[in-house]
Amino acid sequence: MNVFSKVALMTGVAAVAFAATAEARTLRLNHNNPPDHPLHISMEFMGDRLSELTDGAWDIQVFPNGQLGNQRESMELVQSCVLDMAKSNASELEAFEPTYSALNLPYLFLSEDHQFDVLTGEIGQEILDASHDKGFQGVAFLIEGARSFYGNKPINTPADLQGMKIRVQPSPSAIRMVELLGGSPTPLAYGELYSALQQGVVDGAENNPTALTTVRHGEVADYFSLDEHTMIPSVVVISNCAWDAMSDDDKAAFRQAAQEAMQFHREQWDAIVSTTMGEIEEMGVTVNTVDKAPFIEAVQPMYDEVKGNSPAVADLVDRIQAEGANYSDN
């Protein structure tokens, strides 16, 4: 189904939704993961809680596997109010709202506890609220652990990335990071990555461990190298049209449902990741740990560039790092 057909489908669904009683409305949320993925489960949890907290006035219908478009298409449709909600991530969202770029710097967070507390606190809410003048409102951060490189050979040092075509998200930060580490960044839609790895269009990619199991990238990648360069959260967003149609009480209920979903997701993510590494090795993928120090050194220019180019983002980075003083590196 092409994007025009998807728009027609969503327009028809929207017409049905608006024709319903004023007391009930279903929000359509699109994302690019399979229905058994923890992200999908957490978004359904959020929808269930929203319905409970608003006595059925609002509900969320979750569309997996990019049924209504890929992540970029979804964001554009949300901005134009054709689609109510989408799941993207901080990496892709920086093209729509620069504030999200603060979360994409390599080795910013000292631990998953550091990241979770930042995202569920004042700084996280500030970032979610920053995009309202861009046509959408951030609702929730869903953490996905650390991202590392995987592909057709082990990556033990930045030198190993020389000459490798590495799939990245269409994010200036992701592209710059791979450039500094010596690789050749290749933006590509997530749904195209399995075949790109299989056919040698790219030599590797970077993501969290579940990418090798839930969408079977472990079938077309031989090595998973634990450099853990970034912790990029998924982000659930809602169009201004849908958000502004809510009463203050309903918005408060939505924020509560989102907070509960963030905690729910953290708990199920931790449980799943504890078994994922074993599943990766069972698939025949070799897992190798690396010395992170050369990687950290190689990407330091990104911090200098942020300070020179964006004082507002640099301030966010400073505040995130200041909160990191309370956490130990794990």
Q: Any idea where the domains of the chain sit in the sequence? A: 3-100+111-140+235-272, 147-231+275-326
| Amino acid 3: pLDDT | 46
pLDDT < 50: residue spans in the chain: 1-4, 7-8, 11-22, 330
Q: Go through 245-282 and write b for each residue having 16 or more CB atoms within 10 A of its CB, e for each that does not.
A: ebeeebeebbeebbebbbebbbeebeebbeebbebbee
Beta carbons of 222 and 153 less than 8 angstroms apart = yes
Predicted local distance difference test score (pLDDT) of residue 270: 84
Host H or E run for residue 328: none
Q: CA-CA distance, 289 to 120, in Å (whole number)?
A: 30
Q: Go through the chain and tell me how many residues it has.
A: 330
What pLDDT score does 10 carry? 54
Cα gap 241→164, rounded to integer Å: 43
Residue-wise pLDDT tens digits, 29-55:
999 999 999 999 999 999 999 999 999
CA atoms of 50 and 256, how far apart (whole Å): 8
- Least Cα distance to 250 among 49, 67, 69, 63 occurs for 49
DSSP helix/strand/coil, 276: helix
Q: Quick check: helix, strand or coil at residue 193?
A: helix
159-185 pLDDT per residue, tens: 999 999 999 998 899 999 999 999 999
* Biggest CA-to-CA distance, the chain: 61
- Tokens 């049924």 found at: 67
DSSP one-letter code for 219: G
What CATH code would you report for 147-231+275-326? 3.40.190.170
Q: Measuring CA to CA, which residue among 221, 190, 200, 215 is closest to residue 287? A: 221
Do 3-100+111-140+235-272 and 147-231+275-326 come out as alike in CATH topology? yes
**Fold (CATH) for 3-100+111-140+235-272:** D-Maltodextrin-Binding Protein; domain 2 (3.40.190)
Write down the pLDDT at residue 161: 98
- What is the predicted pLDDT for the residue at 19? 35
The whole-angstrom separation of Cα 17 and Cα 28 is 10
Is residue 129 within 8 Å of residue 138, measured between CB atoms?
Answer: yes
pTM, to two decimals:
0.86
For strand 223-230 and strand 286-289, is the pairing parallel, antiparallel, or unpaired?
A: parallel
**∠ CA 227-231-236 to the nearest 5 degrees?**
150
Q: Which residue's entry shows tokens 């799943």?
A: 272
Question: Of 160, 166, 182, 288, which Cα lies nearest the Cα of 227?
Answer: 288
